[in-house]
A = this chain, B = another copy of it.
């Protein structure tokens, strides 16, 4: 571990740059470390069998005595999803707003960690003293309520982390952003700004969530039968607008999907969702009402195969049915990678005779982004007037575009740092430099294992997935090398043995030939036998089938 100078301010990305997901940043001054967010990310198709990815926190483990707090900006998975896995490795006090804490608590309860956690409820007016730093906060707009930006006031100067944000000047439920606080921070001097880059490729200004509300209301007025509407459960603002439209059109609401029920319950009890209790009905009661008196609010807008919408589309839901003439609204744009699953659902809904409102939110008006577009990013940069700028929360091209925006509003090109995970920006005497790197990366979670699946295992899974496995077992006498049993060949995922007896017979013959040849040559290392059987069978099978199954010779000596 490298030591940090006592009066040095350091900013580290442990996760969240060059990727969308598993956000985790560190601000350190002298001996005080504050962690921002602890997200998770879903594995891509190359990480076979992996459930979720969280940041590698070796750096924090080595500096446990210095870690003062985990401060969480908001309650999305890419900001809170890693918390249970990290807390299993080390405990630390957690600071977050009400809704964010509510969602974190749910996770900790599931993992049996709630009792031992130290949770602190803060809001945008809070101030926290953490050793040499004081933290203050400002509210931002985003696709979930109760989001914070953070200002770290250190002896070296002020560092601002925006969290995820957009500027919604007409927000739902009066969740206004603290634009005056942001202006004050800028006026008083921001040494370094960390600002999110998700939409840095998009020109213009992201529309207000209100726009979606208007389109929902229009669609509700037009619909003559049941309405199904699917969106992200965590988008409480949008849920509120669905509720408002249901009230206006005199419809009851049924909730489908575990996370929808969960978020509505947390958000209502904490006051983030305003709804008369009698608005809600059980899924089992849907059929007791006239169709034009019903809204079903459900999960699955990203085409998740096990979620409510997918089951409805394939007529597989136990309690509720989509019938000819019903309206189905997908109030979400498919995230890249999910298009095919969403398309399959739309196909099925049309087959059922439903009227489906689907496609890009920009076209349907049924979705707006929760992230700032280029003009809003420039507005944030202009408000903060930072000396140094670090684009975060995005893939390389997004951070690159964000850099161009910063340059356009006057940030010095040399004062902009595009980081990779593990890169450190050190600031001393008001001068920033980037020369150090700390070890970090992906920690893979598979079942109960955190970080125990490595490259060898993944490479094997990939190999197995493509052409399967072929196991050849042969038993030899220790005394004279005579074959006592076998060779027996078993295949899984390669060919269905009954259909390929000739092939398997030839594999057995090759095995015997190889073994006898090596015995005659008095070769005694079994690894040589295994390698040679593997190669001969491999060559034979590739010539015959153009496939390369994993070949596993097992030699038993009695």
Contact = CB atoms under 8 A, between A and B. Distances in A.
A492 B470 CA distance: 12
A441 interface: no
Contacts of A463: 493
A340 B343 contact: no
Given A400-B350, A557-B485, A492 B552 contact: yes
Interface stretch (A89-97, A130-138, A162-170, A447-455): A447-455
A464 B493 contact: yes
Copies of this chain, whole number: 2
A513 interface: no
Contacts of A347: 18, 395-397
Contacts of A453: 495
A348 B473 CA distance: 47
Given A460-B468, A465-B464, A468-B457, A350 B475 contact: no
A486 interface: yes
A466 B343 CA distance: 25
A332 to B, nearest CB: 16
Contact of A464 (B45, B469, B471, B557): B469
A448 B496 contact: no
Which of A397, A458, A475: most chain B CB closer than 10 A? A397
Given A473-B554, A495-B457, A556-B473, A395 B343 contact: yes
Nearest to A449: B545
A394 to B, nearest CB: 10
A18 B486 CA distance: 48
Given A449-B545, A464-B465, A547-B447, A554 B490 contact: yes
Contacts of A339: 336-337
B452 A461 contact: no
A434 to B, nearest CB: 15
B466 A350 contact: no
A456 interface: yes
Contact of A545 (B447, B471, B488): B447
Contacts of A456: 496
Contact of A466 (B18, B346, B461): B461
A125 interface: no
Contact of A558 (B351, B359, B485): B485
15 contacts: A44-B340, A48-B493, A346-B397, A351-B396, A356-B397, A446-B547, A447-B546, A449-B547, A453-B495, A454-B496, A457-B468, A462-B465, A473-B554, A475-B475, A485-B557
Interface of A: 18, 44-45, 48-49, 201, 336-337, 339-340, 343, 346-348, 350-351, 356, 358-359, 395-397, 400, 446-449, 452-454, 456-458, 460-469, 471, 473, 475, 484-486, 488, 490, 492-496, 499-500, 544-547, 550, 552, 554, 556-558
Nearest first, the 10 A-B pairs at minimum CB distance are A447-B546, A465-B465, A464-B464, A460-B493, A347-B396, A461-B493, A336-B339, A49-B466, A447-B547, A460-B492
